[in-house]
Amino acid sequence: MLALPESGIRTSIKKHNSDLDLFCDWVEASAVFSDDPISMSDVVDVLLENTIYEDQDFAEEFVSSAWAVIRARFQRLGNPMGLVVTNTRLSRSVDEKWTAEPAYAFCLYLACLSYLYPRALEELADANTQGELFEKMAVESLTATFPGWEVRRLGWSPDNPQKLINIVGTLTSDLREVPGAEVNTHVDNYSKELGLDVLLFRNYGDENASFPIIMMQCASGKNWIGKRKTPDLSIWRKIISFNSQPVKGMVIPYAFADDNSFRKESTTVEGIFLDRYRLLSPSGTTAWVSDELKEEIRNFLAPRVPVLPTSAVAA
């Protein structure tokens, strides 16, 4: 198993004080990045030996709640890597490693990097590359989700260094819109993408506006919380005079253990919200990641997975 997260797992005597989101990600990442099966008793032993719990039955109660979440997650993805959860055990029905499902592994690695082991993995952090990979993944997933739509990656990065000033005219024309009254106020030589990482639209083959437009923010780091209000449509409406008002959205590689947390965070986004499992299972299909992107992700993760902290307790 992987080591206990660096934070969020707290001593629990009379009530469960640990962060269930982080706990579920820890068990799930352990299943994906470790070769050995994991039992509920393994997990309970880790909690007892690290004095997180004193009472075994109370620890089992918390682990059981996490087990149910993880079971639902695996089933939603069609049991990737052959991962199967029984009432007491988490194992693989086939001999596959994380390399078989690189997009899934990438999202879990980002959870490790941002929340589970930020200090241990700090030296291998590469925000630019992970951001590029995540945007590419979002584009491929959204393309599968919205067949027939135009899906464009616009987020600035070293491999996509276009400035907004050079493309805003093309965007306006392709959306069949007209420039906003304050385009020169908000778009200058220093402007990158103003929070617009991926643009989706569905025109009808004529020269008229008034068709669906979605403007997405892709946030792969822990700072996604501060990006929930981007792209700021009040600014974009001054850059482009929209005849049909766009919808905003956000894509993140993280997940929530309960629906209330999902609703709370998505309300702040005020638009379409794709968490890890919406991103990974577009339109009920898993065959959406290109071979090229799979290889890019494998190359990125290859030196990083071996240094994930492991537990001293045998699984």
Q: Which domain holds residue 216?
A: 127-294
Check: CB of residue 181 under 8 Å from CB of residue 208. Answer: no
| Domain match, 88 and 139 both | no
Q: Give the pLDDT band (50/70/90) at residue 314.
A: very low
99-156 pLDDT, tens digit each: 999 999 999 999 999 999 999 999 988 999 999 999 999 999 999 999 999 999 987 6
66-98 pLDDT, tens digit each: 999 999 999 888 888 888 898 888 988 887 899
Scan for tokens 């959870």, then name that residue: 111
Question: Average pLDDT over the chain, rounded to whole?
Answer: 91
Number of domains in the chain: 2
| Domain match, 186 and 288 both | yes
Which CATH number does the domain housing residue 226 bear? 3.40.1350
pLDDT at res. 313 = 47
| Domain match, 229 and 169 both | yes
| Domain match, 184 and 259 both | yes
List of residues 6+ apart from 224 with CB closer than 8 A:
250, 252, 254
pLDDT at res. 284 = 65
The answer to whether position 5 is within a domain reads no
- Buried-state track 15-26, b at ≥16 Cβ within 10 A, e below 16: ebebbbbbbbbb
| Domain match, 140 and 277 both | yes
3-state class of 204 per DSSP? coil
Report pTM: 0.92
pLDDT at res. 315 = 37
Tell whether the model's pLDDT for residue 51 goes beyond 80.
Answer: yes
pLDDT: is 194 or 315 the higher one?
194
| Domain match, 111 and 170 both | no
pLDDT at res. 12 = 95
Q: Give the pLDDT band (50/70/90) at residue 177.
A: very high
CA distance 32 to 249: 29
Instruction: Calculate what percentage of the chain has a pLDDT beyond 90.
Output: 72
Order of strands, edge to edge, in the sheet holding 213-218? 150-153, 198-201, 213-218, 247-251, 272-274
| Domain match, 118 and 134 both | no
| Domain match, 118 and 136 both | no
Scan for tokens 């339109």, then name that residue: 283
Residue 92: both structure tokens together = 């693989």
Q: Give the pLDDT band (50/70/90) at residue 189.
A: low
| Domain match, 33 and 152 both | no
pLDDT: is 252 or 182 the higher one?
252
The answer to whether position 119 is within a domain reads yes
161-170 pLDDT, tens digit each: 677 778 888 8
Q: Give the pLDDT band (50/70/90) at residue 244.
A: confident
199-242 pLDDT, tens digit each: 999 999 999 999 999 999 999 999 999 999 999 999 999 999 99
- Work out the number of other CB atoms within 10 angstroms of the CB of residue 289: 20
| Domain match, 43 and 163 both | no
| Domain match, 164 and 88 both | no
pLDDT at res. 161 = 66
Residue 200: both structure tokens together = 């989706």
3-state class of 83 per DSSP? strand
The answer to whether position 219 is within a domain reads yes
The answer to whether position 102 is within a domain reads yes
